[in-house]
Structure formats: structure tokens, C-alpha cells
Amino acid sequence: MVTESQPVLRGDINLPSSSEELNKLMVHDVGKYKYSGEDFFRKPEKSRFQLSPSGQFFSFLGPYKRRLNIFVQSVDGDESRRITSLDDRDIAWYFWKSDDRLVFAKDDGGDENFHLFAVNSDGGNLTELTPFEGVRIDLVDDLEDEEDEIIVQMNKNDPQLFEPYRLNIKTGALRQLAVNTNVLEPIDSWLTDHEGKIRGAIKIQGGTNTTILYRKTEDEPFSEVLTTDFRENISPLFFDFDNGDVVYASSNLGRDKSVIVRFNLATGMEEPEPLFSHPDVDVTDISYSRHRKVLTAITYLTGKRHLHFLDEQTRLIYENLEREIGGYEIVITGKSRTEDKFMIRTYSDRSLGAYYFYDHKSGTLVRIAEVSPWLHEDDMASMQPVSYQSRDGLTIHGYLTLPIGVAPKKLPVVVNPHGGPWVRDTWGYNPEVQLLASRGYAVLQMNYRGSTGYGRRFWELSFKQWGRTMQDDITDGVEWLVQQGIADERKVAIYGGSYGGYATLAGVTFTPELYACAIDYVGVSNLFTFMHTMPPYWKPYLEMMYAMVGNPETDKDAMLEASPVFHINRIQSPLFVAQGANDPRVNIDESDQIVSALRKRGVDVPYMVKYDEGHGFHNEENQFGFYKAMLGFLAKYLKA
């Protein structure tokens, strides 16, 4: 009879006894290829550009002591000034609040408890705005029309609950705007109008229901508008421009695919006809011009990204940019408050692209920086949208990347299921995929059932199917590649992170004959301990997790069956495990358990732990070490 095991102590296991062998394998890769592994993961000298509100300055993130810091430069100048000097952790995100001051966030060692800081655009007056230990801060509204304040939410009063505050970015003064005290019916998110007033909220009720709350003014109490089971969803995106009762929202009420609608918060009713829908995929994103107060475009994803224009001026801007740039996806990443100056980003599946400054009035387009000029896109592999049929008749969409200059026959393959699992892979440049393709591996990424964007039914078919039909979709992808003659069935590896790490472990456990080797990166091994070690702010969603993954009490047998750690005797393939010690989502115990269990069986499992990382490795030197080890491991077992 299988019983639950206790996780080993944190940090009980460290670097693998086989690390010397892996290091030897890493060395033989040096000089053999045009690009080193580090080339694919070097921090760009200039990336994540943003435009100041006036459009007179731009900022970017660049490395200082191997950590991403903020630099500021005049649009008309040639010299930039570094205004932050962090050396322990990259800046996670940042934005301009005014031409004089910027706000940025960072965490400690990957714990995801982000702290907010503000700094003047000349580097002076650096201020920590939220010096609270063990507290996570998220942005609610940047209050574009106000000089000194923003709205944030944080779990300062209760680790499980987030409450909104007005925060002065010069003084650090906080003013709480609403309370969120009921852990049984917590408010999940807050919605502001165009004046920065909190007038809407989403509440969790009964563990698996969501309720939209609304008030006409901040002086009134919230009223309940509409309650739905979490499987149905209407997500308010932003208020109509008159700040009345109507919001634009993404909704799948009474339908399979999400569409864009106008929703009246006072009546709880959608307008009869959607603003936009697509027969094959969910539509969840709509953009607008704050300055001109018009809707601009709707974005949706099939195999690639598409724009449906709602505004002639926006359409003409994109057409002008396409004529000038051509051949790349174009994204507007920032704009001045008067919306006459824009920051433009390009990318493709073979390039991280470049940043441009665009002056709409003059029609001037200036290329500012190429993101990774040391990588030539002609040397990169194409990512092709593909689809195949699952054994029970579903169409599974994904992407196949084939190495350049090699016939697509009997190739070594790395199967790369995405994390989440309730997200999806998209078309674009992926450094992991390009690294693997450069070493001669084909890479298959699939949006297995449960991946978002393909409608409610496709998502719900994943419920309580970890290690079952979700895993079958991955297995069916491997078999499809073999049937196509692309994959050498003796040389297939599986690699993934987070849920992809779980899928990796499930793959070598439940289909042990399928994979020559496997790499588990911050993956779940034990569904019971995974449920017990979630961060506190996930606890309000526990009933939803029970519905989607399994309830340890009522689904015990099924969860035992789907947890790889209880079936290690089935694992035959060589396994490499990597984990961040401070991971708040997938606790280090998940990796410790699988490594400990295999080592007790006498299996030598290479295990890389980084004690300054969390859910995935972000520090450059740790990424370099991980991918060197990955290449050595794959070379040993797929190219022998």
C-alpha cells in the first residue's frame, strides 16, 4: 500500500555527486559551435525601453555588476545615465511616474515578495516605499494624471488578503482605500475608473464562485452585481470613457470562447452583441487611447498574434511602421501622454528585435538599440505552428522548431511542455528553444488540454487530469513526431519548468520507455505536499485548486496515482533536477523528495540547487550554469 512520504529537510541535498562529470561535458561544447550557451542568455546592454510622460526622455534596463538596472537618456542625446545600482537582484519591473521620478520593484532571492522603490530621473532621492518584510506588493493603477500618487495592493495586514492603498511616491505615505478582511470571501482584485476611483472589485465566494462588486462612487458601499461559478468568467477590463456604469470586459458567459463585450455594472447585463469574437480562440485584450478617449485595437492569438483595429489613426500608425520596418511583429511598448511620441519594439521567432523611437507628428522613426546584436537571425531556427490529434480526438496546437541545415528525419528531440499549466505557449523568440536547435535538437512545444486561449471546454478537460489525459496529449505529440519521421524514437528527451517540470517527471514515470532522458526544472513531484506548501495568498483559491487538480481528502487515491514520487521504481531514464531554494510556488521540498527517493534506490541524480533563486533562475551566472549542465546532460544521453 502506497502512503504519503514526508519531505526531506530544506537544503538536505545540494549539488550532485556527478557534477564533475557534467563539468567535463560542458567543456567539450566550448568552441564547437558558432554561439556559446552564454550567448543565448546574456543580459542585453539595453532592453525594456520606456518613454517618459513628456516624450523627452527614454529609459531602459541594462546590466550593472550583472544585474539589470535603470538607465535614462534624453531622446535628443547620445549619453545615458545609470540611476540605480542594485547588485543583488534584477529590477523586476518599472515605470515612469513623471519626467522627474520613476518607480521600480524588486524581490529578495526570488521570494516574489516585491518591494517598491522610487528614484529621481537623475538618480537622486532613492526611496524604499514599502519596507515591509514578507509582504507582496502589486500595482493596481499608476494614476497617470496625478503627479505623486499611485494605487497598490499588498497583503500587509493578512498574508492571504490584498488590500488597496494610495501611495505617495515622494514621501512613502500610505492611505488605505478599502478593507479585505474575510478570508472565506476574499476580494481578488480591484477595478479603478479613469479618475483612479475604486468602483469595482471581484470577490471569491464559497471557494469556487466569483462575484462582481460595484459602486457608483467611493462614498457608497459595494453591491453584488453578478455571481458565477469560476468556470464561467466575465473580466472587467476598463470603464467606458464617461466613467458611468459600463465597462469593457472579456466574457465567456453562455459561450465556450471568451469575447469582448460591453457590460453594465448597474444591471449586471451584457449588451446583446459582442464587440469582437473569434470562432477558434478566446479574445481577452482590448486597447484604448487615454488621450483621445477612443478604442484602438483588439489583440488575439491563434498560431501567431493578430490585431483587429477599431480606430483609423491606430491602423495608419501600424501601417506606416510596417512599411518602414517590415518583416517583424510590431508592438507599441510606450507612449507620451499626448500620444504623439511612441516607443516601438519589434521581434520575430528568430530575433529579439530592436527598439525604435517614433514621432508621429513628424513621421520620424529612429532605431535606438538592437536587443541582441551578437546573435544573427539568419543563424536562428524558425518556429512553425503545428497541430496534431490527441487519442481522444482533440486538436492540440503547438510549435515545432527544427535545427538549421539538417534534414528533418530521425532527429534527436527535446519535448518542452510549458508551465502553468493554465497558460499557453506563443510564437516568438525563445532563447531556450534557439539554444537547443543550435545544438541539433528539434524542439516540440504543445498547448496540451488546459492551456488557455482555446475556450472553456478545452480548459475544463484538464480538471483533475494531471498525469492522465494532460500527459497523454504530450505523449501523443511525441508519437506524432515519430510517425512523421522527424523524431528518432530512441533519442527523445523531455524538459520543462514548473508544471512542465511535473510533466517531465510524469513522463519518465508513467511512460518510462518514451524518453531517453529528462530535465525537471522547479517541478512538482508530490501533489499532496504541493497543495500544503502554497504561498499564503494562494489559500483563498484552494477550493478552485481542488476542483482543477484534486482534493487530498476526497481524491486521495487519484492524487497518489498521479504523484511521481510514489512511483519512482518505474523511472528508468536518467534525470537531472534543478531548483531554486526560495521558490514560493513550488517548494524546494518537491525537488528534494524526488531526488532523495531516487538516491535511496541507488540512482545518482544530478541535482542543482541555487540558494539565491526562487521559481526559476534569474541571475545571469545561475542561468549560465544551468544551461551548460543541460547541454552536457543532453549531449551524453541523446548524442551517444
Task: Calculate the CA dihedral of residues 400, 401, 402, 405 and round it to 10 degrees.
Answer: 150
CB contact at 8 A, 637 and 517: yes
Kindly name the residue from 115, 397, 567, 615 that is annotated as catalytic: 615
Quick one: the chain helix, strand, coil %, rounded to 5? 20, 35, 45
CB contact at 8 A, 138 and 146: no
Concerning whether 308 is annotated as a catalytic residue, the answer is no
Q: Which three cell numbers stand for residue 191?
A: 477595478
The amino acid at residue 59 is S
Concerning whether 19 is annotated as a catalytic residue, the answer is no
CB contact at 8 A, 612 and 622: yes
Strand partners, 357: 343, 366
Q: How far apart are CA 500 and CA 502, in angstroms?
A: 5
The Cα-based distances of 621 to 516, 520, 617 in angstroms read 28, 19, 9
Concerning whether 359 is annotated as a catalytic residue, the answer is no
Angle at 548 between CA 546 and CA 554, to 5 degrees: 40
The Cα-based distances of 598 to 59, 105, 128, 572 in angstroms read 49, 39, 45, 10
The Cα-based distances of 145 to 58, 238, 288, 291 in angstroms read 19, 16, 16, 11
Kindly name the residue from 282, 476, 583, 592 that is annotated as catalytic: 583
Give every CB contact of residue 368 below 8 A, 6+ residues apart in sequence: 46, 49, 58, 354, 355, 356, 357
Please choose, from the candidates 231, 206, 202, 211, the residue with its C-alpha nearest in 3D space to the C-alpha of residue 450. Answer: 231
Kindly name the residue from 498, 525, 573, 596 that is annotated as catalytic: 498
Q: Which sequence positions are flagged as catalytic?
A: 498, 583, 615
